[in-house]
Structure 1
Amino acid sequence: MKGDEAPQGRSEAREEAILGATLELLAEVGYDRMSMDAIAVRARAGKATIYRRWSGKAELVVTAVERHAGQRMAEQADPGDLREDLLGTLRAMREGLTAQDAGVLLGLMTAMHHDEELARTVRARMIDDKRQAFDPVIDRAVARGEVPARSNREMLAEVASAMLFSRAFVTSRPLDDAFLTDLVDQVLLPLLGHQRGEA
């Protein structure tokens, strides 16, 4: 640690101030009109401090959105059954989505179409995180003989994420346990080629 850096507690408080300022400005003016200068002013932090932690606006914004929603999910304990494992993962994803501000997230999706740096960062950090969340679930199911080893992991993550996103931000229909159960039973288990008993 460099001698001019603040003690850890103060450093963490400064980081939270920067991430909070980022979210505030993102909601107020949108990604395109938000600048690192404005974030520094709002957070009362130097730009050098910001750039020591984040390479640029895209990485900073994605970190702020992730931190707000608690999207990075810890690997859950193995319940011993693929169906319950999928439901647990979907519940954790739902908590992250419902903590999001719809306007902020939809604005980010729009900005991705013309900002390649943002698109690349979102894909690497947010979308890939969701894909990786299912990997331990499928690995455990393969080891138990519940699904084939060549199950389509990418399709599973894409379909599950899209359906949760649609419910949360597009259709405004309930994102409840009944929906998650239907999603698992009617879509995800068949997509994986789930084997139960002699089936």
Structure 2
Amino acid sequence: MKQENTKQPGNTRGRKRDSSRTDAIVKVALSLLLEVGFDRFRIQDVATKAGCGTGAIYRRWPTKESLIIEAIKSMPAQEAPVTDEPTTDLKTVIEKQCSQASEKPDLVPGLVAAMRSDKEIEAVVKAGFSLEHYRKTIARTIGEDHEHLDLLAEITPAVTLFRSVFTPESLNSDDMVEEILSVITSFKPKT
């Protein structure tokens, strides 16, 4: 007589996965990704910081790239400050972008390289990437219906990416913030 397979679909060997552990690993992975970038991201470092073994990670994500994809998906949307001073809010957003690019000049170029080599990483980055916080902040200064609003929203990330590759020392400059702010506000309608 043939024995029937009593294993239930979806059962896996080993202990049941703890969802809080999964969330903690993703949080550590995102933190580490933002700290060291794609090129220096290691599963062993995630395991050490999360207080688990590499096996616990590989049972959930079979590759480094799959964990990175999960970490990128968990990134919160960027929020722009909203006060009674739209130009000050815009300056704050520009300062934040310049500061992040200055502190981690290799972060974005490394991610771009990862996007070129892994279509799933490219898809998740593109799906999660938004300039809406720049757009909204700039719109409060120059108007929602300005013909160059979308292009102006790209200026700060574009300039900081360019400079992080070619002149990272220029990112840590108040002059750069003022230059970008000046370019964007020069499109402000005259009243």
| TM-score calculated relative to the size of structure 2 | 0.64
> Which of these residues, 111, 115, 118, is aligned with residue 118 of structure 2?
115
Q: Alignment identity in percent?
A: 16
SS at match of 1:182: helix
- Is 1:160 the counterpart of 2:156? The answer is yes
Residue-pair matches, total: 166
Q: Which has the higher helix share?
A: 1
> Which of these residues, 169, 175, 179, is aligned with residue 176 of structure 2?
179
Tell me the amino acid that sits aligned with residue 73 of structure 1: Q
Q: Deviations 1:153-178 (Å, cap 9, x if unpaired)?
A: 32112222111122233223422121
Q: What residue is the counterpart of 1:132 in the other structure? A: 132
Q: Is the 8 A contact 1:40 1:47 kept in 2?
A: no
Aligned partners of 1:12 and 1:156: how far apart in 2? 36
Q: Is the 8 A contact 1:134 1:153 kept in 2?
A: no
Structure 1 residues 12 and 148: alpha-carbon distance in aligned structure 2, compared to 1, 3 A threshold: closer
Which is higher, the Rg of structure 1 or of structure 2?
2
Q: What residue is the counterpart of 1:27 in the other structure? A: 39
Q: What residue is the counterpart of 2:97 in the other structure? A: 93
Aligned partners of 2:109 and 2:146: how far apart in 1? 33
Q: What residue is the counterpart of 2:4 in the other structure? A: none
Aligned partners of 1:57 and 1:165: how far apart in 2? 25
> Which of these residues, 18, 23, 26, is aligned with residue 5 of structure 1?
18
Tell me the amino acid that sits aligned with residue 171 of structure 1: T
Structure 1 residues 85 and 115: alpha-carbon distance in aligned structure 2, compared to 1, 3 A threshold: same
Q: What residue is the counterpart of 1:189 in the other structure? A: 185
Q: Is the 8 A contact 1:75 1:133 kept in 2?
A: yes
Aligned partners of 2:169 and 2:102: how far apart in 1? 13
Structure 1 residues 49 and 101: alpha-carbon distance in aligned structure 2, compared to 1, 3 A threshold: farther
| TM-score calculated relative to the size of structure 1 | 0.62
Deviation of residue 12 (structure 1)?
5.2
Aligned partners of 1:24 and 1:173: how far apart in 2? 19
* Gapped regions of structure 2 (runs ≥ 5): 1-15, 48-52
Aligned partners of 2:37 and 2:188: how far apart in 1? 45
Q: Is the 8 A contact 1:160 1:188 kept in 2?
A: no
- Is 1:84 the counterpart of 2:88? The answer is yes
Aligned partners of 1:150 and 1:166: how far apart in 2? 25
